[in-house]
Amino acid sequence: MTAGAQRVPAPVADLQVHVWPTRQGIGELRGYGELFGNLLLRDLRSKYKRTALGWGWSMINPLAQVVVFTFVFRLIFRAAPPPGANGVDSFPVWLLCGLLAWNYFTIASNAGMRSLLDNASLVQKTYFPRALLIATTTVAQIVTLLIEMGILAMILLVVGIVPFLWLPGVLVVLALLACFVTGFSLVLAVTNVYFRDTSHLMGLVFQIWFYATPVIYPYRQLIEQAEGMPWLLWLYEANPMFQFVEGLRDLLYYQQVPGPASIAVMVVSGLGMLVIGWAVFLRFEPRLAEEL
């Protein structure tokens, strides 16, 4: 007999009392930090398991996108973003400064949306706050994004932009973006459990959203084309992803602080989305195990 089993249980008075169902809320998450870390490790470890290039893939994909988009939009469509800090004028670098944020948004939202279905067996057989599953996927993607950002910082150095002074600002924007994506994923994840069409629909939505956000073309060129259509520009700037993409580009490529309106949209949409996502998630969480 193993020694551990002989441990005499604590007297009843000392045992922690649980009441179920608990009131839902942020307090539920207390004490689950370690599980969060373990789930995160699981996501990160299993991501590139059994691939020869491993984490190299997380950089190869955006680089391939840069090659394709530079060819199509720079060489064929003659997209010409204004030159950046220190007179640097490089379409690929300009592109990368916005593309990484966009990629994070779509990859993390998609993974977050699927996280409940992918982990159905966990949800149906074990108890822990289910929001952890969504949070781990969006945070795991942040790790990838930070690695990519590190490489981007080196590229910036090579072309002659010293990004270090601006990195705190970049981190703040990334944190707000992560809040936005997590809130968005919380909504998508429960919606996807109740309506399995969601993931198919979102494929389409993300595609339209991508072209509606000036990631691969300069916003300046749109302003020139949109003469007499102020509503179009108003619509563009109301798009939170527009502000995140442009904000990061401002900080990294142009080395300027985004305008106050942009900062306001980022803060409100980042924190607001997180609150909305959390509220929607709590509303649908109680039945998740049976609806899966």
Partner 1 sequence: MTAAIEARDVHKDFRIYHEVNRSVKSAVMRRRRARFEQFEALKGVSFEVPQGSTFGLIGRNGSGKSTLLKCLARILRPEKGQIITRGRMAAMLELGSGFHPELSGRENVFLNASILGLSRREAEEKFDSIVEFAGIEKFIDSPVKNYSSGMYVRLGFSVAIHVEPDVLLVDEVLAVGDEQFQRKCAERFRALHESGRTIVLVSHSMREIREMCDQAVWLDSGVPRVVGPAEHVVREYLEEQDSAQAARTRVLRAGVEVFDGVDGTVLGDLAAGRPWTVRINADVADGTSEVTAHLEVVTGSGTVLVSDRRTLPVDDGGVAARVAMPPLPVLPGEYGVRVHVATADDPDHCVPANAFFLVDGGGRPESVLGGELTWDTGAEVPQSRAS
Binding site for partner 1 (CB under 8 A): 1-2, 4-10, 12, 15-21, 34-35, 38-39, 41-42, 45-46, 49-50, 121-128, 194-198, 201, 286-287, 289-290
Write down the least CB distance from residue 285 to partner 1, Å. 8
Nearer Cβ to partner 1, position 66 or 282?
Answer: 282
- Give me the least distance between CB of 238 and partner 1, in Å please: 24
Q: Which residues contact 256 (CB under 8 A, 6 or more apart)?
A: 250
In the numeric block, the tokens 């968005």 are attached to 184
Taking the chain, what is the end-to-end CA distance rounded to the nearest angstrom?
40
Shortest reach from residue 57's CB to partner 1, in Å:
15
Select 143 or 151, whichever has its Cβ closest to partner 1.
143
In the complex with partner 1, the residue whose CB is nearer, 42 or 220, is 42
Q: In whole angstroms, how close is the CB of 137 to partner 1 at the nearest point?
A: 14
Q: Exposed, middle or buried by CB within 10 Å (0-12, 13-18, 19+), for 182?
A: buried
Asked if residues 178 and 86 have their Cβ atoms less than 8 Å apart, the reply is no
Q: How far is the CB of 187 from partner 1 (least distance, A)?
A: 14
| Side-chain-facing half-sphere of 166: CA atoms under 13 Å | 22
Name the minimum Å distance from CB 128 to partner 1.
Answer: 6
> Residue 47 or 80: which CB sits closer to partner 1?
47
Q: Which is nearer to partner 1, 89 or 291 (CB)?
A: 291
Greatest Cα pair distance, the chain, in angstroms, is 83
State which residue, 121 or 225, has the beta carbon closest to partner 1. 121
- Count of other CB atoms within 10 angstroms of residue 226: 15
Helix (H, G, I), strand (E, B) or coil at 292: coil
* Closest distance to partner 1 from the beta carbon of 42 (Å): 5
CA angle 101, 103, 108 (to 5 degrees): 100
Spatial separation of the C-alpha atoms in residues 49 and 186, rounded to whole Å: 26
In what helix (H) or strand (E) does residue 186 lie, and over which residues does it extend?
Answer: helix 167-194
Minimal distance, residue 211 CB to partner 1, in Å: 23
Burial class for 48, CB neighbours closer than 10 Å (0-12, 13-18, 19+):
middle
Comparing CB distances to partner 1, the nearer of 99 and 123 is 123
Q: Measure the CA–CA gap between 232 and 241, rounded to whole angstroms.
A: 16
Q: Pick the closer one to partner 1 by CB: 35 or 67.
A: 35
Residue 28 CB coordination number (10 Å): 17
Token pair 């909504």: residue: 187
Euclidean distance between CA atoms 166 and 277, whole angstroms: 30
